[in-house]
Structure formats: structure tokens, C-alpha cells
Structure 1
Amino acid sequence: MVHGAALALLAMAFGVVAVRGVAEPGVALAFTVLIALGECVRITLPGDREQAPIGAAGALAYALLGPLRGLPTGHGVFQAAAVTGAGLLLALLPALLLPHGARRHRQAPWRDPVRLDGAARRLLGAGFAAAIFQPLYTSGAVDRFSADGPVYGVFLTLVAALAALCDASLAAVLRRARSGLRFPAALEDELRSLFGIGSAIAATGLLVSLAAGEVGLWALPLFCAPLLLAQVSFRRAAAVRATTGQTIASLARATEVAGYTPPGHARRVADTACAVGRELGLGTRELALLEYAALMHDVGQLSLVEPVPDGATALLPDEEQRRIARLGSEVIMRTGVPRKVAEQVARLADPWQGGPSGADGEVPLAARIIRVANAHDDLLTAARRRGVGEAVGRLEVLEALRLGRGRVYDARVVDALVRVRG
């Protein structure tokens, strides 16, 4: 739906510009090049978010461009969308110019769903901002307040804020379609991200459009340079997160290599836990911490003299489960992983505190989810060892978890597991 709307807007914009001609072609070319360069230096943020800060800021600035060096502009809504689309298409040229052999080993940009999502968002966001601002500007309604006065700046800020909200909503729709994350949780994640790179993009686009009224096209490199430096900082933060992920993966593999857990157990538990977390409406950040904790939930087993058969801690006495969880938490606390992950692992074996009304008690939701996911994999592994068929084994495991529903396990979590794994 979002891609279709973007394609329709692009086709309509190109058609209108082809009929009417290009207004201020030099200005249009400068913004097209800026957007294309911004697309070529995209960054990937945590949660698999793709952003092109400079390209997005350039598109927003052109959509909100009023006077240029004191002279009015008249490019309008469709040319703003056409320039953004031309910049997006121009950024594809390096991939098209690659030798055929090199192209085979790299995914084509037009087949990359993350990149297509980002391009569609930026095109629709620029079109949305232009649709609000340009008609008011070209009709003279904005002339009632001075272009160099505070009211004009407040008006542009309001339009930029609405464009940012539009982009967040589109990103939430696309994330819902790609990952299955519930729309309210996806929207909450995207709105949180507005306080990071999103606010920097909106502020830069706003400043460029305002400064262009005084200094002309020199505003483009002058105000986009700080955003480029901010991109470097975001890249470094992403690299730190990648290092954290490698540390977690190593710890998760340690129990398997040492023979304490079956191969793939940590990954299966993490996948099940994340599926349940999405079903319960957790956001991207909560899901990331949940995955970390699920991958490392068995680290405490390394303290055992003798491995538990099949690593099935769910079959151990409650006190022994709690001891292993506490030891694992102490190990995790010394690895530089977010403290919340260690706290979740420490509470994995704590009894569920929910009362008759369904209150959650003090045990973190992530800990309750991992406990159910771990029991699910342990019991399923035990069923396979007994030679039980896959379908029958799954039914047995779900029935066993239902028996502990509301006593040993959180009823809400068990119900969510049944929906995603039943």
C-alpha cells in the first residue's frame, strides 16, 4: 500500500512537471544532487531502521522552500515530489554502473525491502510536507506574516513536525507489515526515534529552508555538514551495538560448546520468546533486550559440576533453577551488556506472582516470557528423545504448559505461546 502510493505520487509528479516544465531548474538540480548524495550515505540504525538523514533533510527543505535570497519561488507540490523522486532514482546509478559480476554478488537496491521502504517514506513525507506548505505559500496566504519574522518560523516548525509524524506513521505501517509487530508498539518505537536522528533531520531541513531565504543555495552545504558529522556518531553507536551482539552470541554458544545445552537451544528459545513478545505488543527496544536475555538465559549452567540432561533446567527443582539464574545474571553483569538484561535473567525462575485479577506482580514480563519459552523447548526436546512424533509432542508440551497456567507460568504468556506456536 505504501509502495503503491509512492509510485503513484512519483508518476503523477513526473507527469505534471513534464507538462508544466521545471521552475528554477538550477535550484531543482542542486536539491536533486543533495538528495542523491544523501541516499548514497545512508545509515542503518538499531532495529534494522534504514535512514538517509541528509537526503531526507534535503527533501524536507525543498518541500518547505519559500523565498530564495529574498525572491519568491514557484516550484509547487508536484515539483517538490519530482525532485525528491529524481534524487532517489539518481542514487541508484552507482549500482547500475557496477560490472555485471560485481552486481551478482550484491543485492540490487530495487530488490532490497528495507531500502525500498525508506525511499517510499521519504518520497511520501516530502510530498506531504509540500502539500501543506506550498499551496499556502504560492496562494499568498503566507504573505500575511513576514518571511523573516518569528511567526513564519513557527509555521515552518509546525509543518516539519507534522511531516515527522507522517514519516513515523508510515514507518510503523511498514514495520508492522515486515515484522508482524503490532501497530501501536511499532508507532511508539518510531515516535521515540523522533527524539534522536528524526529531530536532527527535521531541524536541518527547517534550517536549510529558512537560511536559503537569506544566503541562497549556500545553505545546503552549510547546514547539512553538521548532520553528516552526526551520522558518523550514529554509525559508531551502531558499531558498539554490533560488538555487544557478538559478545552475547559468544556467551550463548559457550553452553552449547561445553555440552551443557543442546545445539541451537538458546536460539530456539530466543526466537520463541521474541514471537511471544511481539504477540504481547512489546516494542523494538523491549524485544531486543528480551532476545539478549533469552540467548544468555542458560549461562549459569556453566557453574554446574555435571551438566543437566539435555540442558533441561525446566525439569529441575525451583530452588536449583533460581540458583542457576542468579549465577548467570552475575556473569552477564560483568560483560557490558545492558544491566536490564542481567536483571531479567536473574528473575527467570522466580514464581509467577499474578493474582486472581491477572496482576503481573514483580517478576518482569521478559523473565516470564523466557521461562515459558525455555520450558517449551526443554519439554519438546524431552518428547523427541522419547521418540514421540513432532505433532504429538507439540500437543503434549502445550498441554503441560496449560496445566501450569496461572500457577507456575503467566497465563497471558502461555496463551500467547499457544497462539504463535500452537
Structure 2
Amino acid sequence: MTGQEPALGRLDSGVVITLAGAAVGVTAMILTVRNGLTEWQYALTFGLLVAVGEMVQFRVDRSRNRAPIATSAALGYVLLRPPEVAVPPEIAQAVAVTGVATLVGVLPRVIAGLRWDLVVSSRRVVSVACAAAVFSAVTPPGLYWSGTWQDAVALTGAMLLAVLTAAVVDAFVGAGQTTERYNQPFPAALRDELVIAVRIGLAMGLSGVLLAASTSLIGLWAMPLVVVPLLLTQFAFRRFASAQRTYRTTVRSMARSTEIAGFSSPGQNARTAQLAVALGHDLGLTPSRMEALEYAALLSGVGQLALADPSPGGASLLRTREERRRAAEIGASVIERSGVLDHVAEIVRHSNDPYRQGRANNADIPLESGIVNVALAYEQLVGEGTGQSPAKAMESIGLGIGAEYDPVVVESLRRVIGRGFRF
């Protein structure tokens, strides 16, 4: 096992979310079959759009896939109020169409062996169901876009409330999942989910409102007017995500240079980064700081290439203080030459500073430097081929609290190890 080991007997949050989404979807399908499908042309059109959006989903971050077109289409369908329809889509029908279309869209990805995330799809079904329930509760049956301007204002407010509900529900579910998976404090996980909701969810929600409003006023012919810009936006997101993946691959390749040259043991940099990320989650760092922390941990040994000879087994702790300081400074200078990793370089520059002589007296030194310092020390004590037990390593690191190591980070390490962290 790697990372945080789940507690025995505890049901995985992903399973709970998937079961909840399945229960909501199946219930909606049973009710729809019993009551009959109304306005099939709208159900078919929006359902096809959800399915297509699911087919072209992409990975916008390292944790899960995103399907903005599918989400916008699902929200658009539950917010639909066409004036020529006597009865708008019921909650059950809207949720059932979303669930079936999601499965139809996922199937080609499964057959093709492409990445897909059933948990994210289940989260969408749950959040869309909540949005549909709120919209139905606050919108009178006779309220349509063809009415007065007061009706239009009321409908817009109801739509925005429903979209906000979907975003908040999804954020809370995602925060709970992150807390369970990475042991990140719930408030920090919720903060990160809300940031994502503002950056990406806002665009999806507003697209859903625009899709519903334009289709309600003009009819199904209005859909291309909204879908085409949404496709272009998704294309831009995909390009950005692809660039981020290339960037990450480049950093990992740079990190491996120390292993190839024999200045670090195989996998040492990756293990250090793995532990540093676990500590960052425990301390509630923001996603941008987490990314810089991971890159700094991966590249923390680059400066050793300027030293005359490698340490036995890549154990930089065997170096003198001056050698470690010089290697960190050289490594930071190398990283700075990239022109885009200045914050990472600053973390690496201070990653070998003793706490008492560094961050204890200089608040400008980033906490991430102390995290890398502790993570590197623990990896070299416990990593492959060292033979020390976690308890013995914690005892050794504990002797340096307040002098060599940041007490806050060491306490975080105790929590992370206590929860079953393994390389």
C-alpha cells in the first residue's frame, strides 16, 4: 500500500457517493416509468447533450475528470421552462434523463479503455437532483419566460438559487471525499472545493442557466448558440490541462536526473514528494501551494549534482551542513532558470535550513521548506534499504524538534504516520 491506508471496516466515501447517486437515479427512473415520459423531444435533446459531454470529459486536475458540457446540459434541463409546455419536466424525469444519459456517455469511454470517474458522475446526479428540487420548490407552476418582466426576474433568481445549491452540495460532498481520502482537514478541503466551484463550476452553472433560458424562449434551435461557445471553452480547458500534464512530466524527468547520476536512491524523490504532499494535506495547504510543495520535494536533490561525489545510498543527511546548504542554493538557482518556478526555488533554497536558524527567526521562509526538510529526513531514515522502523525514525526526528525541524511539521508527521502512512 502507498499513502494513507484506509481504516479497517470503514466504507470508502467513493462507494457511498456512488451508491447515493445510483439510489437517486434508480428511484427517479422508477417514478418516470410509472408516470410516463413527457415532452420527449426535450428529454432526448438534452439527454444526447449530456451523453456527448460525458464522452468528451477530460482531466482538469490530478484528482478527477470533469465534464462541463454534461453538467451544463443537465442543469439546463432541470431549469427548463418552455412556455408551450403545459407541465415542465418533473424532478424525477429530469434526474432520470441525467442519469441514463450519463451512463450512455460513459459506456464508449469504458469500451475504449479511456479514463472515467463514476464517483464524479454520481456526484453530478446527486447535485442535479438537489438543484431540481430547489428550483421546483421556489418556482410556481405557472411561471414562464413569456410572462411579465417580473416573471423573468423571478425565474432568473430561482435558476441562480438552484445552481448555487448544486455547487454547494457538490462542494460539501467533494470535501468529505477529500477528507476521507487524503486526511485533509474538512474546512481546508471545503475551501478548495469552493475555489474550484468558483473557477469552473460558475462557468458550468451560468452556461446551464443560459441554455435553459434561451431554449425556453426560442426553442431547441437555441441550443447551438450556447453549445458552440461551450465547446470552444472546453477545448481551451483541455489545452490548459494538457500543458499542465506536460509540465508535471518535465518536472518528474528533472527529478530523476539525480537518481540516474547516483545522487539519490531509486524512487527517493518520488517518496519524499509523496510524504510531503500528505503533510501538506494534513496542514491544509491550498492547491497552488500543494503543487509548489510537490515540485519542490521532487527537485530538492537537484543541487547535489554539483557535489563531487554522491552520498552512499543517496543519504544527503550524511553530508556536512555546508555541503547541504550549498547543494540547496545551487538547486534553487537551477530551478529559477526555468522562469516559472520561482516559488519552488525559494522552497528548495531553505529546505536544508535548521529550523532554529531559519524559519523560527524569519517568517518569510515558507512553511513548505520545513515540510520538505522533514519529509526528506523521514524518507532517508525509513526509505528502501535503510531498515529503520517508523517508530525509530520518529524518535530520531523528535530529537531535532525546535532545532533542526519545525515542531508544527513534526507534529503533522506524527498524525500522518499514526493514520497508517506507508511509502
The equivalences for 1:85-124 within 5 A come to: 85-94=99-108, 98=111, 106=113, 115-124=117-126
SS at match of 2:352: coil
Give per-residue Cα distances to partners, 1:350-370, cap 9 Å, x unaligned.
232599xx9983321111011
Which one of the candidate residues 381, 403, 406 is aligned to 2:399?
A: 403
Q: How many residues align?
A: 402
* Alpha-carbon distance between aligned partners in 1 of 2:327 and 2:408, rounded to the nearest angstrom: 25
Which one of the candidate residues 201, 204, 208 is aligned to 2:204?
A: 201
Give per-residue Cα distances to partners, 1:142-168, cap 9 Å, x unaligned.
899647633432332232122222222
Q: Residues 168 and 148 of structure 1: is their aligned pair in 2 closer, same or farther, counting only changes over 3 Å?
A: same
The equivalences for 1:331-350 within 5 A come to: 331-350=334-353
Q: Does 1:374 align with 2:376?
A: yes
Cα deviation, residue 25, structure 1: 1.2
Cα deviation, residue 336, structure 1: 4.8
Counterpart of 1:52 in structure 2 is 67
Counterpart of 2:321 in structure 1 is 318
SS at match of 1:149: helix
* Alpha-carbon distance between aligned partners in 2 of 1:93 and 1:118, rounded to the nearest angstrom: 15
Kindly indicate whether the alpha-carbon contact (under 8 Å) linking 2:144 and 2:151 is maintained by their aligned counterparts in 1.
Answer: no
Give per-residue Cα distances to partners, 1:389-417, cap 9 Å, x unaligned.
543xx433221210111121011211222
Kindly indicate whether the alpha-carbon contact (under 8 Å) linking 2:75 and 2:128 is maintained by their aligned counterparts in 1.
Answer: yes
Q: Given the two structures, how large is their TM-score scaled by the length of structure 1?
A: 0.87
Cα deviation, residue 172, structure 1: 2.0
Kindly indicate whether the alpha-carbon contact (under 8 Å) linking 1:77 and 1:135 is maintained by their aligned counterparts in 2.
Answer: no
* Alpha-carbon distance between aligned partners in 2 of 1:210 and 1:73, rounded to the nearest angstrom: 16
Gaps of 5+ in 2: 1-15, 419-423
Runs of 4+ in 1 over 6 A off after TM superposition: 141-145
The equivalences for 1:269-418 within 5 A come to: 269-352=272-355, 361-380=363-382, 384=386, 389-391=387-389, 394-418=390-414
Cα deviation, residue 337, structure 1: 4.7
Q: Residues 171 and 359 of structure 1: is their aligned pair in 2 closer, same or farther, counting only changes over 3 Å?
A: farther
Instruction: Flag the structure with more relative contact order, 1 or 2, with Cα contacts below 8 A and sequence separation at least 6.
Output: 2
Alignment RMSD, CA only? 2.7
Counterpart of 1:127 in structure 2 is 129
Counterpart of 1:10 in structure 2 is 25
* Alpha-carbon distance between aligned partners in 1 of 2:357 and 2:282, rounded to the nearest angstrom: 19
The equivalences for 1:202-221 within 5 A come to: 202-221=205-224
Kindly indicate whether the alpha-carbon contact (under 8 Å) linking 1:270 and 1:291 is maintained by their aligned counterparts in 2.
Answer: yes
* Alpha-carbon distance between aligned partners in 1 of 2:93 and 2:32, rounded to the nearest angstrom: 6
* Deviation larger for 194-203 or 11-20: 194-203
SS at match of 1:348: coil
Counterpart of 1:251 in structure 2 is 254
Kindly indicate whether the alpha-carbon contact (under 8 Å) linking 2:347 and 2:369 is maintained by their aligned counterparts in 1.
Answer: yes
Counterpart of 1:39 in structure 2 is 54
Counterpart of 1:27 in structure 2 is 42
SS at match of 2:88: coil
* Alpha-carbon distance between aligned partners in 1 of 2:230 and 2:388, rounded to the nearest angstrom: 54
* Alpha-carbon distance between aligned partners in 2 of 1:227 and 1:354, rounded to the nearest angstrom: 53
* Deviation larger for 220-229 or 52-61: 220-229
* Alpha-carbon distance between aligned partners in 1 of 2:380 and 2:217, rounded to the nearest angstrom: 68
Cα deviation, residue 14, structure 1: 0.9
* Alpha-carbon distance between aligned partners in 2 of 1:86 and 1:147, rounded to the nearest angstrom: 35
Gaps of 5+ in 1: none
Kindly indicate whether the alpha-carbon contact (under 8 Å) linking 2:381 and 2:388 is maintained by their aligned counterparts in 1.
Answer: no
* Deviation larger for 408-417 or 142-151: 142-151
* Alpha-carbon distance between aligned partners in 2 of 1:219 and 1:173, rounded to the nearest angstrom: 38
Kindly indicate whether the alpha-carbon contact (under 8 Å) linking 1:372 and 1:414 is maintained by their aligned counterparts in 2.
Answer: yes
Counterpart of 1:84 in structure 2 is 98
Q: What letter matches 2:98 in structure 1?
A: T
Q: Residues 374 and 37 of structure 1: is their aligned pair in 2 closer, same or farther, counting only changes over 3 Å?
A: same
Q: Residues 86 and 381 of structure 1: is their aligned pair in 2 closer, same or farther, counting only changes over 3 Å?
A: closer
* Alpha-carbon distance between aligned partners in 2 of 1:137 and 1:319, rounded to the nearest angstrom: 70
* Alpha-carbon distance between aligned partners in 2 of 1:222 and 1:88, rounded to the nearest angstrom: 23
Cα deviation, residue 309, structure 1: 3.4
Give per-residue Cα distances to partners, 1:33-87, cap 9 Å, x unaligned.
111111111011123231111110010011111234x555422211111111111
Q: Given the two structures, how large is their TM-score scaled by the length of structure 2?
A: 0.87
Q: Residues 130 and 146 of structure 1: is their aligned pair in 2 closer, same or farther, counting only changes over 3 Å?
A: farther
Q: Does 1:160 align with 2:163?
A: yes
Kindly indicate whether the alpha-carbon contact (under 8 Å) linking 2:135 and 2:161 is maintained by their aligned counterparts in 1.
Answer: no
Cα deviation, residue 273, structure 1: 1.2
* Alpha-carbon distance between aligned partners in 2 of 1:363 and 1:171, rounded to the nearest angstrom: 32
* Alpha-carbon distance between aligned partners in 2 of 1:331 and 1:72, rounded to the nearest angstrom: 68
Kindly indicate whether the alpha-carbon contact (under 8 Å) linking 2:356 and 2:402 is maintained by their aligned counterparts in 1.
Answer: no
* Alpha-carbon distance between aligned partners in 2 of 1:29 and 1:343, rounded to the nearest angstrom: 54
